Structure 1
């Protein structure tokens, strides 16, 4: 889940020290502001404000959080204002290619602000890394979100976000071995569910954490990582998933995390060389990149 809206609300309440005034400044209702603050308190695990007869008083946790995030929120606001000032030059349809799991689970604020900030329409093209880069090269896509590094000879790019790779198992078998020392040899006796035959995320995790290859029986191949999560939750084997697809399920006890967190995987925003001369593509790049690191900051 992205907490950008709630963080913006928190910073405004922190500065105003009054929920009513903050709500007016943000154009929100008081119940909405209160809900945002409660959401942030749930994330932080501590109370952020003491309610007084006339306003609120920040707690020590609020001072700490404001120190860490207020500057970033201000920079983000400035970027959005700058982008909106140029939005009249951007019009038409923007075609964006990307992986289904990241777009469906993380990219909501990026896409929503692109649609709200200018006179553009949007078409999404979902696919794996081959389809994503093929769509860029063929011109089907104007810009892309990719979880694999692009070829610098063909494309320009920037780092959009990061995801941690997490080894998860169904709760029945996971509870049996979670207190054991997790090794590649131990996991070899359990079935694994993979994205494709090359075991991309699994291979990356095993090499980084175990310095070994995965020798588990591949019981299923599923080219949608969201479905892999559901298969494992239903009691089948284990896999390696991006943190945003398993974070909540681990907290709820529906999946069991095994071993340490794996390596970070980089999410890129990619476009063809020379493509930014087109105003709508440059506009899309600026809006999406203004909302970079949504998943990284959620951690």
Structure 2
């Protein structure tokens, strides 16, 4: 889950050292500001402010958090101000291609702010990496989000976000082995659920962590990673999933995380070479980029 709004509120309270003044600056009610601060305290697991007779005093945790995020919040505000200044010149339909799981679970703020910032409407095209890049080539899509590196001879792109790969197993079998050393040899005794026969995320994890291939029996193949997570939660085998898809289920115990955290992958914002000459596509690129690292900042 993204906490950009709450972080913005936190930075304002930190700078004002006063909830009433921060609420006035943000155009919010004092209870709403207090709720945002409580949310951030829940996220970081420590108090951020101490109440005083006049205002609030930042804790050491608040000083540390402000040092890490305040400059990023300022840059984000500057970008949004710049984008809104030219939003009236942008209108029409924007076609965006991307993977179902990232669009469903992470991209909400990116798409919502795109709709709010300009006079456009959006059509989302869901697909795998082949479909996504083909849609840019044949111009079915104007811009795309992709979890695979684009061909630099065909596309321009920038890193939009990052995902961490996690090895997860159903809770019944996972609890039996979660406290012992996890190896490729051990996992060979369990079924694996995968995106396709090439075991893309699983192969990447095994190469990096175990320096060998996966030899588990493939019990199910499903080209939707959300369905893979659902099968595992229902008690079937194990797999390797992006962190944003399994983070909450690990916290609730519905999935058991095993072994070390896996490699980090880039999520790319991609457009066909020369496409930014179209104002609508350039506008979309700027808005979506302004809300980069939604998943990365949630870790």
**Shared fold, TM over 0.5:** yes
Gap runs ≥5 in structure 1: none
Gap runs ≥5 in structure 2: none
User: Match of 1:224?
Assistant: 224
CA distance in 1, matches of 2:63, 2:107: 29
User: Match of 1:166?
Assistant: 166
User: Match of 1:142?
Assistant: 142
Give the 5 Å matches for 1:1-299. 1-299=1-299
The Cα offsets for residues 212-260 of structure 1, whole Å up to 9 and x where unpaired, read as: 1111111111111111111111111000000011111111111111100
CA distance in 2, matches of 1:226, 1:24: 42
- Measured after TM superposition, the shift of residue 24 of structure 1 is 2.1
The Cα offsets for residues 59-111 of structure 1, whole Å up to 9 and x where unpaired, read as: 11111111111011001100111111121221111100000111111111111
CA distance in 2, matches of 1:32, 1:215: 52
The Cα offsets for residues 120-179 of structure 1, whole Å up to 9 and x where unpaired, read as: 111111111111111111111000000000111111100000000000001111111112
CA distance in 2, matches of 1:103, 1:24: 34
CA distance in 1, matches of 2:166, 2:119: 39
CA distance in 2, matches of 1:31, 1:196: 49
Q: Which is further off, 22-31 or 207-216? A: 22-31
Q: TM-score, normalised by structure 2?
A: 0.98
CA distance in 2, matches of 1:16, 1:86: 31
CA distance in 2, matches of 1:31, 1:193: 46
- Tell me the number of residue pairs that the alignment of Structure 1 and Structure 2 aligns: 299
CA distance in 2, matches of 1:101, 1:32: 31
CA distance in 2, matches of 1:229, 1:33: 35
CA distance in 2, matches of 1:235, 1:54: 54
- Measured after TM superposition, the shift of residue 52 of structure 1 is 2.6
- Measured after TM superposition, the shift of residue 55 of structure 1 is 2.0
